[in-house]
Amino acid sequence: MDNFLTALSTSLAEGTFISLTLSKPRGPHTDDRIKRETVRPVEVRGQSRYQLTRQYPQRETHENLDADEVVRRVSLGLGSVLKHAHLFTTDSDIAARSNQPGDYRVSVSPPSKRVPSSVAHDRKKQHLISEGRPCPFLHELGVMSADGRVHRAKQDKFRQINRFLEFVEDVIPHLPSEGPLDVVDFGCGLSYLTFALHHLLTVIHSREVRILGIDQNAHVIDRCNQTCKTLKLQGIEFTAEAIDAPSTSRKVHLAVALHACDTATDDALAQAVRWQADVILAAPCCQHELAPQLESDALTLLTRHGILKERLAAMSTDALRAAVLEQAGYRTQVIEFIDTEHTPKNLLLRAIRRKDNTPNAQHMTHIEELKTLLGIKHLRLATLLGNHSPE
């Protein structure tokens, strides 16, 4: 581990440090177990600091540290608390892995992040795709001018694209580190986010990809394929077909379903589980399946009001979907997609396939208890997966 800590200390001292991620927690799952740590440079009141973010199962903490304290914290946590570390510098990427306490393997690869993260704590937020820098696909889709200026009417779309890319950036460590990445985008529509995903993986991370966008609307698919031709993009294609009838039999690493309407989200989630996708990102909308089924005397004060009943149905749908994915071998989170000031309904289901994916009988009991409480007799995702169990 000394080699890794020396590289970290040197990058901090010489200004080549971009970011650091520690992952793969050691020990039993508890609410106080640290799941992930990230370090990035920030500027606080004119002084350079490094923000340490710790993610727990139910909360997140932030601290601003100096360089020496960063090294000390990493030396205490790497191996004993978190098994993997990835240091990104302007010169190289350095990974440290500890399969057993005291046993470390360090590897070095060419730099994958070409531009250091923003160090401004109080300045305008910096994005993975920066305003003011020309981006061909955003220009072609009418979000940005040729010189990189984001059109006023497309500011919300620009923020949404970057917020989505932040979520993808977070899950990249859970995707294969070598070889082509296979991605399927269900219900891709006009494919702003599909093209953004292609840009992130190919331009920013220099990865080879095979991205398939699926939508039933042949007209928008024709437009997407024309955009590919205009931009001369490689590794991305679009097809007009139903979500539950995808035309790929390849191993899928990342499955995306953003705003597939109502139970179309369930069709996409079920197909992703059958593929044993490494990561699933889904932003559901129009969750109507459960509303007609909500029959419970205990919930009368909620279900008697149409707007509250709709919100209860949507919240219950996403909670049960997350639970079914857990039962199918995934670690799931329900998180906010973009700020609610931009849109009132934007939750994201993030599911990462577990290595230890044995079904949990108690977890299944909780699903059935919630269905009973709500009066739910039919849940499409559970029906689609049937007796599916993780392998």
SS (H, E, C) 288-343: CCCHHHCCCHHHHHHHCCHHHHHHHHHHHHHHHHHHHHHHCCEEEEEEECCCCCCC
Residue 117: inside a domain? no
Residue 298: inside a domain? yes
Identify the pLDDT of residue 142: 94
Number of folded domains that form the chain: 2
What sign results for the dihedral spanned by CA atoms 216, 217, 222, 227?
Answer: negative
Nearest to 352 by CA among 38, 94, 14, 35: 35
Nearest to 74 by CA among 106, 33, 39: 39
Q: Where are the beta strands (DSSP E) in the chain?
A: 17-25, 36-44, 47-55, 60-65, 82-89, 93-100, 103-109, 181-186, 209-215, 236-240, 254-261, 279-285, 330-336, 347-353
CATH number at residue 334: 3.40.50.150
260 and 302 share one domain: yes
What sign results for the dihedral spanned by CA atoms 67, 69, 70, 76?
Answer: positive
146 and 60 share one domain: no
142 and 203 share one domain: yes
Identify the pLDDT of residue 86: 92
299 and 368 share one domain: yes
Expressed in percent and rounded to 5, the helix, strand and coil fractions of the chain are 35, 25, 35
Q: Taking the CB of residue 27, how many other CB atoms lie within 10 A of it?
A: 9
Identify the pLDDT of residue 175: 94
Identify the pLDDT of residue 261: 81
Identify the pLDDT of residue 116: 47
Residue 121: inside a domain? no
Residue type for position 267: D
How far, in Å, CA of 128 to CA of 290, rounded?
Answer: 37
Residue carrying the six token digits 């082509």: 180
Q: Is 225 exposed, middle or buried (0-12, 13-18, 19+ CB in 10 A)?
A: middle
Nearest to 135 by CA among 126, 145, 125: 145
Residue span of the structural domain in which 68 resides: 2-109
Identify the pLDDT of residue 288: 82
How far, in Å, CA of 310 to CA of 186, rounded?
Answer: 25
86 and 159 share one domain: no
7 and 155 share one domain: no
Residue 123: inside a domain? no
What sign results for the dihedral spanned by CA atoms 115, 121, 127, 131?
Answer: negative
26 and 160 share one domain: no
Final residue before a domain boundary, out of 109, 126, 157: 109
Q: DSSP class of residue 150?
A: B
89 and 149 share one domain: no
Q: What are phi and psi of 4, to 5 degrees?
A: -65, -45
Distances (CA, A) of 222 to 100, 188, 237: 52, 12, 10
239 and 345 share one domain: yes
Give pLDDT < 70 ranges for the chain.
1, 44-46, 101-102, 114-126, 245-249, 338-345, 357, 359-361, 387-391
Residue 127: inside a domain? no
299 and 350 share one domain: yes
Nearest to 95 by CA among 110, 76, 114, 80: 110
H helix or E strand, kind and range, residue 167 = helix 155-171
204 and 256 share one domain: yes
Residue 115: inside a domain? no
Identify the pLDDT of residue 119: 45
76 and 180 share one domain: no
**Do the Cβ atoms of 367 and 320 come closer than 8 Å?**
yes
Residue 177: inside a domain? yes
How far, in Å, CA of 361 to CA of 50, rounded?
Answer: 42
Residues 6+ apart with CB under 8 A from 204: 113, 114, 128
Tokens coding 320: 């049960």
Residue 128: inside a domain? no
Helix axis angle for 67-77 and 2-14, nearest 10°, is 160
